[in-house]
Structure 1
Amino acid sequence: MEALDSPKLDEHSQALVAMNEVFQRQRKDYLANPYPDYTSRIRDLRKLAQLVQDHKDALARAISEDYGNRSVDETLFAEILPVLEGIQETIKHLRKWMRPERRRVRQLVYPLASNRLIAQPLGVVGVIVPWNFPINLAFSPLTSIFAAGNRALVKMSDRSPRLAAFLKRVVTDYFPREKLAFIDDGHQLGPEFSALPFDHLLFTGSTQTGKAVMASAATNLTPVTLELGGKSPAVVAPDFPLEVAAERILFWKLMNAGQICTNIDYLFLPESKVREFVELTQKIAHQRYPDLQAPDYTSIIDDRSYQRLWDTVADAQQKGTQVVNVFPGNEGDGALRKFPLHLLIEPNDDSLVMQREIFGPLLPIKTYRDPQEVIEYINSRERPLAFYPFTRNKSLRDLYLQRVMSGGACVNNCLLHVAQHDLPFGGVGHSGIGHYHGKEGFINFSKLRPVHYQGFIDGLKPLMPPYGEKSRKILEFMIRRARS
């Protein structure tokens, strides 16, 4: 600890020393107790829920202060509630998940033996949390990590300084640092954090940063779960009621001001439906948000992101895209960073809005005549984190689901698959690696250790050297059985 007080170390170096010290303490604690029992895991999960429940209002305030303004209702709905429900669901099933699983034995060679698959804790898990849903994206993984019996070191985003400071302060009332610790990123510790020799590393964020995290983890052969993003499309079929689709799409597109990795990044509409959709959007948006300056409408996270959205709109206009400000006359609020919803109709593929993840209230609209156009367009790009087909035609629904690959999908709505605690969440290809939530989360943060228990009779003895006619006959008999 003397190194922490040394004047020779700058603040970054001191933070780095402190981070490494916590990691080593967690590693030591894991080695002292590598298999926490069911009772202790349940106790940890309940403490996790208690932390969130006790401080839900303070957590919402801290997030809102980090944003400039973040709707309290959105925090309760999209962060606090799913975390508490996920912990409750995990507690309900944990005993079954922990039970060793029987596997079949080749009885001809291994009589009276048995096989088991045992889920064992990996050790110390690192979690890198983004700023957009910092409670959900910290505590949902922690639910799976603790259920699997691990320790956790959690690095918060540099855009969540107030929340990070609050969590660092209160977490010690519930857990020792050997079990759980939060790190703020005021000293830009990201590269050093991902280079620690974790037993597993979970990162949620951009694809570009995810590549850097994976490269750092590769130095230690640390397995990674990457929850990335990309451009998640939606398509409305001619048979689906347009007003219902508009109501559902806009609910999610304006949730958190569009700053969600699984949000609709572009929308396919039949050519004849565009004008009606624009009119419906204007009506619905004004009904839900009569005043963008009110607390219900969330701010863009920082000045750089706010300016990026305006630059994206300007780029689309310069390239001939029809841009509709759904709140005409409202050109945003630079102080609170309230950005009005814009529709970008038939954007060029070389526009910024179609080249990168939007993370804001911009909705590009492309038109189509045939479902095959939609399938070919989506499949010509990197695989998205989510896909949202709107249709009541089962054949068309299945065509889209079978032909378009994505991390997850939700039919006739958006994002709801992420909130299902018995469904795994994760990407594919450029949108991510690995899954968590529910049983898959428990498995993801466990080592499924295969164990063979030798029986009283050693069936291999007749096959041991010196080889002869007897062993050859046995092998030929076994091969014939295998071929049949």
Structure 2
Amino acid sequence: MSNPQLETLLNQQKAAFKRNPPDIEKRLDSLKKLSDIVKQHQEELIEAVYTDFGLRAREETLFLEIFPLQDEIRHAMKNLRNWAKRRYVQGAWFLLPSSAYYQFQPLGSVGIMGAWNYQVLLSLSPLVDAIAAGNHAIIKPSEMAPASAEVIKEIVNSNFSEDYIHCITGDAEIAREFSSMPFDHLFFTGSTRIGKKIMAAAAPNLTPVTLELGGKSPAIIHECYPVKLAAKRIMAGKLFNCGQTCVAPDYVIMPSSLNAEFEEEVKNSVAKFYPNITENEQYSQIINSDHFDRLNDLLIDAEDQGARIVEVSFQKSVADKKLMTPKLVFGVTPEMKLMQDEIFGPILPVLNLNTINDAVDFVNDNPKPLALYYFDEKKKRIDWLLRNTLSGGVTINDTIYHLAQHNLPFGGVGASGMGHYHGFDGFRTFSKKRAVMHQKRFAASDFLHPPFTGFKKKLINIIGRITKV
């Protein structure tokens, strides 16, 4: 089903792009404007995120959304002129004296679908890349975080022209219509389940898609690594936004001999991070009651199948506040729901496998994760694990921070997504790498036109002998 208003908006953007694609100066001005309005409305954005969750620390939104976004804008502005340069390449010798180069062209009008867990960052970070590449864009933030969606809509639409950059909000039906529009590129962040629907909706228009999805990101601890340090770093990454992070460690793999120490060190770390956790204003709530109930169902299913659930904080979850306290789950098996579905909450299963080979086999026997975390200090084992696994990204001896490296691509593989963004890779995602060959007035290729007789036959035979491997 088409949406007439959305269709009109997209047609306006495409027409405006055809008339005057944004040059480098306009792109830089637009990036600066985006940075300025985010700074100007920073407190409104933070308050809106707090409203959506019911509780999320100001510092967490600053550290995980506002600061990375502003730094990404800074990085793009610093490097844009270099990214956009044409690059000459070595030409084929038999086409001399031609020259060959490629240059990055903007695609047109692109669609960006954000995600509720980090609404500000995941709606506006792809926009940074789209602007840098020279596109027009329409943004659709997630309807599951309506307060932040409306603030983003207000600050974007009051500062950019409708035919250049525009934000729309709406329910799941609007999202479905959005994904079926004939954009020149569609960027989606969300679950694997919805990602499949987005790709199917885009297919009739042959709209290229970037899917930033999720999955079950493992944290593997080698028996020689300090358990105290591993526990601290795993729990820090796990409990940001109460586990509602696509690259949060989803489960731990380690030898059973480490269980007791790991449990103790996790409790110590959580006590330091979030003292009096049920009253702690820095510990986020679950986004809504449905997700809270889903997490409880995962725990009930695991316990019914023999798992041991450890209340890490010594305090119980508070349902009416959507506050779920951190929990470890020991004795898990692959059949349990929490080992099949992405958890997206403060529940950390521990799967006991006694060798790195067994850990790698388990990871490889399941859908490819968005992130993989390995705790070890022996380079030979690290290199072996990197050679023998495949994931969207990797952090060694820490969690989640690989996504903050501007010069590294961020994106999944297989069920965890397709395509990349951040930095130059984001610029390239929203561009066409266009090949150009420039031939001279007098060219050797003129001697290769039909009819193929006499001298031309000999010349082609010579080329064949020279180019033979």
Do both proteins adopt the same fold according to a TM-score greater than 0.5, normalized to the shorter chain? yes
Which 5+ residue runs of structure 2 have no aligned equivalent? Answer: none
Is the CA contact (8 Å cut-off) linking 1:111 and 1:457 kept in structure 2?
no
Identity %: 37
What runs of 5+ residues in structure 1 fail to find an aligned partner? 1-11
- Cα distance, 1:157 vs structure 2: 0.9
Aligned mates of 2:292, 2:336 — CA distance in 1:
18
Q: Deviations over 1:69-119 (max 9, x none)?
A: 1111110000000000011011111101110110221233x2221112010
One of 10, 19, 22 as aligned partner of 1:32: 19
* Structure 1 residue 185 displacement after superposition: 2.0
Q: Is the counterpart of residue 436 in structure 1 residue 383 in structure 2? A: no
- 1:66 and 2:52 equivalent? yes
Residues 69 and 124 in structure 2, CA contact (< 8 A), matched pair in contact too: yes
Q: Does 1:464 align with 2:449?
A: yes
Q: Cα distance, 1:168 vs. partner?
A: 1.8
1:137 alignment counterpart: 122
Cα distance in 2 for partners of 1:348, 1:99 equals 53
1:23 matched residue in structure 2: 10
- Counterpart of 1:265? 250
- TM-score where L is the length of structure 2: 0.97
Residue matched to 1:280: 265
Alignment of 1:57-206 (within 5 A): 57-108=43-94, 110-186=95-171, 188-206=173-191
Counterpart residue type for residue 35 of structure 2:
A
- Mapped contact 1:418–1:425 kept (Cα < 8 A): yes
**Of the candidates 299, 302, 306, which is equivalent to residue 316 of structure 1?**
302
- Separation of aligned partners in 2, 1:171 and 1:430: 32
Q: 2: CA distance between counterparts of 1:389 and 1:395?
A: 13
Do the aligned partners of 2:97 and 2:439 also contact (CA within 8 Å) in 1? Answer: yes
Query: Cα RMSD between the aligned structures?
Result: 1.3
Look up the SS of the partner of 1:153 in the other structure: strand
**The one of 339, 348, 358 aligned to 1:363:** 348
Are 2:98 and 2:443, in contact at CA under 8 Å, matched by a contact in 1?
A: no
Q: Check if 1:410 corresponds to 2:419.
A: no
1:327 to 2:302 alignment = no
CA distance in 1, matches of 2:182, 2:37: 28
**Deviation above 4 Å: which 4+ runs of structure 1?**
none
CA distance in 2, matches of 1:334, 1:182: 34
Letter in 2 for 1:322: R
Q: Write the deviation string for residues 221-251 of structure 1: whole angstroms up to 9, x where unpaired.
A: 0000001111000111122111111111111
Secondary structure (helix, strand or coil) at the match of 1:447 reads strand
Q: How many angstroms apart in 2 are the aligned matches of 1:187 and 1:349?
A: 32
2:243 is matched by which residue type in structure 1?
G
TM value normalised by structure 1? 0.95
Give distance in 2, aligned partners of 1:427 and 1:167: 26
Distance (Å, rounded) in 1 between the aligned partners of 2:178 and 2:44:
27
Pick the aligned partner of 1:303 from 275, 278, 289: 289
User: Contact between 2:97 and 2:444, CA under 8 Å: does it hold in 1?
Assistant: no
The alpha carbon displacement at 1:462 in A equals: 2.0
- SS state at 1:58 partner: helix
**Amino acid in the other structure paired with 1:81:** F
Q: Which residue pairs with 2:376 in the alignment?
A: 391
Q: Deviations over 1:51-83 (max 9, x none)?
A: 111111110100110111111111000000000
Q: Is the 8 A contact 1:293 1:338 kept in 2?
A: no
Confirm or deny: 8 A CA contact 2:187 2:210 kept in the other structure: yes
- Aligned residue number for residue 205 of structure 2: 220
